[in-house]
Chain A
Amino acid sequence: MRPEVERELIKKCRAGDSRFYEPLVRAYEQPGLRVALGMMGNLDDARDSLQEAFVKAFNALGRFDITRAFGPWFFQILRNQCRDNLRSRQARFRMEALDENLEIRPADPKTGPDRLQERSAVKATVWEALSMISEEHREIIVLKELQGFRYSEIASILEIPEGTVASRLFHARQALKDALVDMGVEYP
């Protein structure tokens, strides 16, 4: 969605008409669900967190700096909501078997069928390994790998310097690699 369209929609929402919030929800719900699912580990909790984040964002639109982009601000709210829900429910990251909801696809169009089949077997293990790393590491991996945010965007969402993003990402990847190796995944 173009920034000027977002700004117009936000202005209308601020005037009290929630119908203009729908395009924003529809534009951000899929990326939001990916992030929430990565952080919460199961679809029910992810949907709850996403809905609550959208409601909170709408109620806070009056305080939103309209010169900024809506996306990073919303993902900041979503990330905080996921963390709050994990804490208030005293729930650990509850891993759900996502075979029905997730599918594997080649990230690289040049990837051949052999490589795809081989890596497909690792899919469930990779997903499970996410539950074995810390919340801080998991969230940065989710933002970078599952959602594909750039370093500057992650820095804005997590409110940390870009240099910290790079170093935290390095440690998170190391932790994930260790978890995968512990689970028997072989890397060259």
Chain B
Amino acid sequence: MRYLDGEASPEERARIESEAAGSTELSRDLTVFRMMKEDLMGLQFSPELRRVSVWDSVHSQLTRPIGWILLVIGTAVWVGYGAYLYAVSDGEPFEKMATGAIVIGILLLLVSVIWEQYRAWLTDPYKDIQR
């Protein structure tokens, strides 16, 4: 194989060439493999295919997590700050408790829906099917 692929040493090459000269079978095998090699190496991409780059898709996948992290951190900071301001503001305690209960209830419902969707996605047998 090394001879066929041009990676044999000069000694190996000389030995194989002298063996091939005396053996029809070896000579035939080498010819067949050489032709196959040529056919495979002849498979080339069309020029149109070469122009399409995957960089944009790769770049968007690399930057997307950073975007999500910043969004989550920013939202958490604002929500926390808002909750703090609301808690220390003037107002009846029962109003604050009622509003707090509504907000917490909505958040719990939202989290449970997201969690359900995530679990359904994990067991979805068609998730890798491309549409």
Contacts and interface: CB of A to CB of B under 8 A. Distances in A.
Interface of A: 18, 21-22, 25-26, 29-30, 33-34, 43-44, 47, 50-51, 54-55, 58, 88-89, 100-108, 111, 119, 122-123, 126-127, 141, 144-146, 148, 150-151, 166-167, 169-170, 173, 176-177, 180, 187-188
Interface of B: 1-2, 5, 7, 28, 31-33, 35-46, 49-50, 53-55, 57-59, 61-63, 128, 130
Given A18-B62, A101-B46, A123-B42, A25 B54 contact: yes
B54 A103 contact: no
Given A123-B42, A177-B33, A187-B35, A144 B62 contact: no
A127 B1 CA distance: 21
Contacts of A111: 38
A188 B39 contact: no
A102 B61 contact: no
Candidate in B36, B53, B61 with the most chain A CB atoms within 10 angstroms: B36
B59 A22 contact: yes
A116 B96 CA distance: 83
Contacts of B5: 144, 151, 169
13 contacts: A26-B53, A29-B54, A34-B45, A54-B58, A58-B58, A103-B45, A107-B38, A123-B42, A126-B36, A151-B2, A167-B1, A176-B36, A188-B28
Contacts, number: 111
A165 to B, nearest CB: 8
A171 B6 CA distance: 18
A88 B42 CA distance: 31
A158 B52 CA distance: 28
Given A29-B55, A55-B58, A187-B32, A101 B45 contact: yes
A136 to B, nearest CB: 16
Contacts of B43: 102, 104, 123, 126-127, 146
Determine chain B's interface SS by DSSP, over half rule: helix
B131 to A, nearest CB: 12
Contact of B59 (A18, A33, A44, A102): A18
A105 B61 CA distance: 36
Contacts of B55: 22, 25-26, 29
Contacts of A180: 36
B62 A107 contact: no
B57 to A, nearest CB: 5
A29 B43 CA distance: 17
B38 A108 contact: yes
Most buried by A among B1, B38, B40, B50: B40
